Amino acid sequence: MSSKLIGPALSRVDGRLKVTGKATYAAEYNPPGMVYAAIVQSTVPRGSVLRMQTTEAERAPGVLAVLTPRNTPKLPGADKYVANPIMPRLAAMQDSEVLYNGQPIGVVVADSFERATHAASLVRTFYVEKPAALDIEAGFASAEPAPGNFGAPPPGHTRGDVTAALAAASTRVDATYTTPTENHNPMEPHAAIAVWDDAEHLTLYDANQGVHFVRMFLSQLFGLVPDNVRIISRYVGGGFGCKALPWSHSILSVLAAKAVGRPVKLVLTRQQMFSLVGYRPQTIQKVELAANAQGKLTALRHTGFSETSEKDGFSEPFTNTSNMLYACPNVHTSQKVVRLNAGTPTFMRGPGESPGTFALESALDELAHSLKMDPLELRRINHADKDPEHNRPWTSKSLLECYRVGAERFGWKKRPLQPRATRDGEVLIGSGMATALFPAMRFPCVAVTRVLADGSAVVQCAAADIGTGAYTVFAQVAADALGLPLEKVRMELGDTTLPLGPLAGGSASTASASPAIQSASTQARQQLVKLAIEDTGSPLHGLAAQDVLAENGRLLSRKDKNKGETYAQILARKQLPHVEGKADSTPTPPDQQKHSGYAFGAHFVEVRVDEALGTVRISRFVTSMAAGRILNAKTARSQILGGVIFGLGMALTEETLRDPRLGRVMTADLADYHLPVHADVPDIDVHFVEEMDPHVNAMGIKGIGEIGTTGVAAAVANAVFHATGKRVRELPITLDKLL
Ligand code: MOS
């Protein structure tokens, strides 16, 4: 690999398309005859729909159809769909049961979005109400063991004897931490346009994080042959986990399109983003730690609860990081879920890791305080040199270097050990740190590279670019392997007619697709070499393959760089339309791997807390990350910036509140759900520690989409403690908690 294309801070290849409005997002297609749908939502948390008065809506101008639980067609694969533990059971109005406030109970189709929305407001619904479960604490006694999501094992781990070790310890922490319900707020709300090409063929333009993943569920649900379902999602305005699975609007758009015999567009409003798609469930976590006088951890117990919906299982696996982050001989983790009348939760950036590290990394800070030890030193002392959960080596780990570099850039040495030691008038200043981590995962992936007659290349893979820069880094990988300038490579992503691509989730997209793209592109280049050296008409005829270089769209002799020809010339002489390489980089299952792969990092943060007002301002933020090979310094930095800002929202402002009597989300817009804005975010110093990982995958790539968020909330809470002497164990750290 040359260093020219792999690594540098290159701008996005699709940047111009995006800023000029030429990148087409899901809601921007206009199939002929398209009409518009609006969803009617329940206004009670539990019960059943007794009757819906739809006449007024049906008579409203432009209305083509009103679907209710009574007349919605049955889905052939609904049972299979329902059986999936993390699908919204009642997403598609298959019966009249109401399980949460805001559940879809009707769809109005009209000739404009405005008319559909207006008519939806005219539908009157009468319910038989039933008592609802809305309080997570009231559900502790009847909580169930947490399920694993999507076939993952249920969270939980035991090694050693944690009870005995806790009893024997001289220094202990025993604290409960809570994180609220949170909602994803990508810039682009969910959107779908459903087109029935005929009775058996469906096309869905859909904002999602992985077209093949969405197709798998929709084809099951509608009883269609997967190959007859085409999902198109070429540009996506942010995902964060909520666009991983298809939610009600995607399914309902397909049902509505069938009902009216025309393409149907269904776009969620910002408000509907808080009830019609999943969310991060609230957690209540208890962490117990014990250490000896030198600060060596002797026991770690991490247990707790997260919420889920009445009938669907989804657990926020917040204890996973406690199993492996520190060397500790006695560990026990287990989790339960409480069923509430709320929508079904789902993955949200660092699912498990983000809330889990808030608890664990806060508890570590509390332990350091009890031991009168520097919290960074405590983490160094407990560094896990191998994975203590699976008792196997890491693919690579540069966490100690992240600690060192981060501390140096931050100036951690100058930090006083005691809290409340620094003030600037009314403002208390403190600093805190936390460890960040995320598993290095991969999904199956196939890529096809073609070098075309004009000497340019097209690379196909049904991966997704959800705003992360995937188009750019994939093009870099291909161009590098092909010996082409970046602008001569065209990436095609986000369409199920392309070869199987990974979900842009689990921080796994780049690591999944890049090795396949590299291998497919290398094969295409090797075919060009073969064509040239075997052809008496080529100036390279007779050379050994290893004596041929590929540069700037030309093959040339290593020994005599004046001797060569272009890819276009080679193909023209052979009268070939293209050469093609194809590669499959499907990974080995995690349980068969010999190493454990994780990206690690460290956050260092300085806060300024107004003592009179309780307001917290972030004044400095340094983050150092070791995540294997970095393909593009600019897009990678942007990923970490975005991740950290996501974490700052989690730390200080984000909280979804439901009405305790009706279970309706009360913070269902960006005025009430507080995301960090520019004024809340300081200049963030992002540093990547160089890391060559020989084991994690063929290119040594780990993910960077989620790690930036993990640990941030704890680093902020720890800094707030250091500034004020107040330990806030309940996110978000709003001013009322500091007064
Ligand atoms: Mo991400 S929460 O794994 O889509």
Residues 17/19/25/27 CA torsion (nearest 10 deg): -140
Residue 69 DSSP symbol: T
Q: Is there a domain that residue 573 lies in?
A: yes
> Which residues lie across from 230 on neighbouring strands?
203
pLDDT of residue 88: 64
The verdict on residue 358 lying in a domain is yes
Residue at a domain's end among 562, 586, 610? 586
Residue 6 belongs to a domain:
no
Which single residue is written with the structure tokens 């024997």? 168
Distance from the CA of 508 to the center of ligand 1, in angstroms? 9
Which protein residue's CA is at the shortest distance from atom 4 of ligand 1?
241
Reduced to 3 states (helix: H, G, I; strand: E, B; else coil), residue 346 is coil
Strand partners, 686: 623
Across the range 240-264, mean pLDDT stands at 96
320 with 431, same domain: the answer is: yes
Q: Measure 12 CA to ligand 1 centroid, in angstroms.
A: 22
User: Looking at ligand 1, which atom is closest to the CA of residue 346?
Assistant: 2
Specify the CATH number for the domain of residue 91: 3.90.1170.50
Per-residue pLDDT tens digits for 701-735:
999 999 999 999 999 999 999 999 999 999 999 99
- Residue 274 and residue 667 in contact, taking contact as beta carbons nearer than 8 Å: yes
- For 113-122, write each residue's pLDDT tens digit: 999 999 999 9
Query: Residue 317 Cα, ligand 1 centroid: separation in angstroms?
Result: 13
Q: What is residue 632's three-state secondary structure?
A: strand
* Tens digits of residue pLDDT in 262-271: 999 999 999 9
Task: Please identify, among 551, 586, 621, the residue that sits at the C-terminal boundary of a domain.
Answer: 586
How far is Cα 661 from Cα 561, in angstroms, rounded to an integer? 78
The residues with which 645 forms a beta bridge, in sequence order, are none
Whole-number pLDDT of residue 79: 75
Mean pLDDT score across all residues of the chain? 96
Q: Are residues 212 and 151 in the same domain?
A: no
**Number of helices (H) and strands (E), helices first, in the chain?**
16, 28
| DSSP category for residue 590 | G
The atom number, within ligand 1, closest to the CA of 241 reads 4
Q: Structure tokens of 622?
A: 């340094």
Q: Which atom of ligand 1 approaches the CA of 244 most closely?
A: 4
Atom of ligand 1 nearest to the CA of 350: 2
Please check whether residues 253 and 355 belong to one and the same domain: no
- Report the separation in Å between the CA atom of 240 and the middle of ligand 1, taken as the mean of its atom positions: 5
The answer on 650 and 637 residing in a single domain is yes
Note whether residue 512 is domain-resident: yes
Task: Pick from 279, 280, 347 the residue to mutate for probing ligand 1's pocket: most ligand atoms within 8 Å of its CB.
Answer: 347
Could you tell me the CATH number of the domain that includes residue 361?
Answer: 3.30.365.10
**Bridge-partner residues for 333, per DSSP?**
157, 302
d(CA 337, CA 445): 33
Cβ contacts of 18 within 8 Å, gap of 6 or more: 12, 235
Answer whether residue 332 is part of any domain: yes
Instruction: Specify whether 706 is catalytic.
Output: yes
pLDDT tens-place string over residues 537-579:
999 999 999 999 999 999 999 999 999 999 999 999 999 999 9
**What is the C-alpha R_g of the chain?**
27
298 and 385 in a single domain? The answer is yes
Cα–Cα dist 484/474, whole Å = 13
Residue 1 — pLDDT band, cuts 50, 70, 90?
Answer: very low
Listed residues 538, 567, 586: the one ending a domain: 586
Report the distance separating Cα 501 and Cα 518, nearest Å: 14
Give the rounded distance of the alpha carbon of 565 from its chain centre.
Answer: 44
- How much distance in Å is there from the Cα of 239 to the middle of ligand 1? 8
Closest ligand 1 atom number to CA of residue 503:
4
Quick: pLDDT tens for 76-107: 888 776 656 777 666 889 999 999 999 999 99
Report how far apart the first and last C-alpha atoms of the chain are (Å, whole number).
56
Query: Does 2 score more than 80 pLDDT?
Result: no
Same domain, 381 and 362: yes
The answer to whether residues 18 and 91 belong to one domain is no
- Is there a domain that residue 267 lies in? yes
Give 244's DSSP letter: S
Instruction: Please tell me which residue in 307, 389, 492, 706 is annotated as part of the active site.
Output: 706
- Identify whether 116 is part of a domain: yes
Answer yes or no: do 485 and 544 share one domain.
yes
pLDDT: is 151 or 582 the higher one? 582
Q: Is residue 67 part of a domain?
A: yes
Between the CA of 64 and the centroid of ligand 1 the distance, in Å, is 37
From 282, 392, 416, 406, select the one nearest 337 (Cα to Cα): 282
Q: 450 and 433 in one domain? A: no
Task: Specify the ligand 1 atom closest to the Cα of 348.
Answer: 2
What's residue 592's pLDDT? 81
Ligand 1 atom with minimal separation from the 508 CA: 3
How many angstroms separate the alpha carbon of residue 44 from the centre of ligand 1? 30
Ligand 1 centroid–CA 242 distance in Å is: 8
Say how many Å lie between the CA of residue 507 and the centre of ligand 1.
7
DSSP code, position 675 = -
SS3 content of the chain, % helix, strand, coil (to 5): 30, 25, 45
Mean local confidence (pLDDT), 580-597: 90
Structural domains in the chain (count): 3
Return all residues near 313 (Cβ < 8 A) that are at least 6 apart: 85, 86, 147, 149, 337
Of the candidates 129, 126, 145, the one whose C-alpha atom is nearest the C-alpha of residue 85 is 145
Mutation test of ligand 1: which of 208, 213, 245, 349 has the most ligand atoms closer than 8 Å to its C-beta?
Answer: 349
Same domain, yes or no: 448 and 436:
no
Q: With 60 as the cut, is the pLDDT of residue 427 above it?
A: yes
Q: Does residue 422 come out as left (phi exceeding 0), alpha (psi in the -120 to 50 range) or beta?
A: beta
Cα–Cα distance for residue pair 604/586, rounded to 1 Å: 37
On whether both 570 and 623 belong to a single domain, the answer is no
Amino acid of residue 181 = T
pLDDT in tens, 621-678: 999 999 999 999 999 999 999 999 999 999 999 999 999 999 999 999 999 999 999 9
Ligand 1 surroundings by CB, under 6 angstroms = 209, 239, 241, 244, 347-349, 351, 505-506
Q: Is the pLDDT of residue 467 over 70?
A: yes
Clarify whether residues 88 and 220 are in a common domain: yes
Q: Which range of residues forms the domain containing residue 678?
A: 142-182+279-441+593-737
